[in-house]
Structure 1
Amino acid sequence: MAAEATTEGRAVGEWDFWDRFDKTRPIQRRLIFITKLLRGAFQGLAYIHSRGRLHQSLGPASIVINTTSERDAMYLNARLRDLAFSTDVSGLAAFGGPTLEDLWEGRGSNLSSGTRDSAIDPAVAKLSEGLWRRAAMAGARDSLSRRSFGIADDIYAGGLLLAYMVFVPLSEAGSIDGPSIQRLLETTFRLDIPAVREYCEADDRWSEAVNFMNLDDGAGWQLLQAMLNPDYRLRPTVDAVLSHRFLTGALLNLS
């Protein structure tokens, strides 16, 4: 995957002849690869949300791609998997799973509860229970606001995915990983993205990732800040994420 790439001047897959004369070409291909991968993942999430479901386990491991070669980035097709934890938030359980009301009222109950929530895997029920508990703590108590919270929760996971897919492939090998990124964002800086940006800009090992995020007056940081907004009501929809200039390809002349 693109995450296996390093910034040592080596592209994933074979080199192009002209790379010997233009050292920016491998990095440009990597940026295209990352952008296409993220767009594919968020397009999948948009479809899931349009069908009244949440993904609830969005991350690097939940993406399947048809090529690992950056030379084939323009033909990259990314899809989502790991739908075992997907939760129905539609009014009707059209996919055969529990409805939002079942999950809310049943609180992830077991077979003795008699609700449709009891028919799903205990791990799924536990995850759903945690989701709706957090929704209640955030003030989302009616069906509509709970649905909005669930969608925003997927968007938050998408923000962490964006940070991972930018920093891991574009940083010095071994200098950062998924858990480190999440700790940096959530624990060290408590989602203060301008502070995160300043910290990252001071580390030369992450310079290529920072340069990408800084394009067009910090478009990447702006999108990340929106997706990780502590107030779930202010997070963008996945369609808005896909329309953001950082992911449209316009910054890389892909549009």
Structure 2
Amino acid sequence: AVASAHEAGIVHRSLGRNSFILSSVGQDKREATSPYAVVIPRLRVILSDWGFSATLQEAVQEKELGVRSKLFGIPAVDSYENQRSNDDRIDVAAGQFAMAEDLNALGFVYLGLLFATLANPATLSAPMPPTDDDSWQRLFSDIFNKDMGAFRDYCTNEDVWDEVVDLLDREEGAGWNLLGELLLARERLGEAFTEDEEMQFGSAKDLLEHPFFKVKI
């Protein structure tokens, strides 16, 4: 859903767990409605909450985006640095940064879904740690300083997440790699820009081909 929006030149800008709805609109209404009768291939994921969305052209012109992108080394489109340097890469990087913000938000959605829905049942000796978006962001960004290895070690130490960690570890850690592509999309784009490297931006469409989605559960 996010890939389709980005391909159409639209950024969502307010992705969260409540933005995704699992719909049975594809089901034949004459069929049984029991959860046990659901035909999985007919289910549809619907992306909602488009109130803050914008086209890429609109997004890159907003000052707020420029303020945030500068934190990652990418000047704002209308900045003095851009006017002085006349660097065509700034316009491209600004659009990619707007999409990278969506990917970063999607990463935290994915974290929440994985660690909340696939966790083992909590017990008194192994309670469920917080899995809300604010807790994930504080853990990943503030406590572990965006270090995916340290973050994985934390998750490994929680018994309720044994099966989730095992899933993410498969295919040489493909799941952790995917989370890194999402959660660190802004950082990697900024590093490529500041180091004057070719900006190989991992778009949402590209990530659909990620090896993790081929892992057998």
2:123 aligned with 1:161 = no
CA contact (8 A) 2:96 2:201 kept: no
Structure 2 match to 1:30:
none
Q: Structure 2: which amino acid aligns with 1:133?
A: V
Runs (5+) with no aligned partner, structure 1: 1-43, 91-98, 108-128
2:44 aligned with 1:89 = no
- Could you list the per-position Cα deviations for residues 29-71 of structure 1 after superposition, in whole angstroms to 9, with x for gaps in the alignment? xxxxxxxxxxxxxxx1111111211111112110011159487
Structure 2 match to 1:52:
9
CA contact (8 A) 1:63 1:79 kept: yes
TM-score (structure 1 length as normaliser): 0.62
- Tell me by how many angstroms 1:139 deviates: 2.9
- Tell me by how many angstroms 1:136 deviates: 2.7
> 1:176 and 1:212 mapped to 2: Cα distance?
20
> 2:43 and 2:130 mapped to 1: Cα distance?
25
* Structure-to-structure mapping, 1:185-200, within 5 angstroms: 185-200=140-155
CA contact (8 A) 2:4 2:205 kept: no
- Could you list the per-position Cα deviations for residues 167-210 of structure 1 after superposition, in whole angstroms to 9, with x for gaps in the alignment? 11112454331232222211111111111111211211111211
2:96 aligned with 1:148 = yes
Q: 1:240 aligns with which of 197, 206, 214?
A: 206
CA contact (8 A) 1:66 1:78 kept: yes
* Structure-to-structure mapping, 1:10-89, within 5 angstroms: 44-67=1-24, 69=35, 72=38, 73-89=40-56
Q: Runs in 1 of length 4+ with deviation above 6 angstroms? A: none
Deviates more, 1:223-232 or 1:44-53: 223-232
2:100 aligned with 1:135 = no
2:202 aligned with 1:252 = no
What secondary structure is seen at the aligned counterpart in 2 of 1:239? helix
Q: Structure 1: which amino acid aligns with 2:52?
A: F
What secondary structure is seen at the aligned counterpart in 2 of 1:196? helix
Corresponding residue pairs, total: 175
TM-score (structure 2 length as normaliser): 0.72
CA contact (8 A) 2:21 2:47 kept: yes
Quick one: structure 1 residues 246 and 69, their matched pair in 2 at CA, closer, same or farther if it must change by over 3 Å?
farther
Quick one: structure 1 residues 200 and 137, their matched pair in 2 at CA, closer, same or farther if it must change by over 3 Å?
closer
- Tell me by how many angstroms 1:151 deviates: 1.0
- Could you list the per-position Cα deviations for residues 186-240 of structure 1 after superposition, in whole angstroms to 9, with x for gaps in the alignment? 1111111111111211211111211221122211001111222233356521012
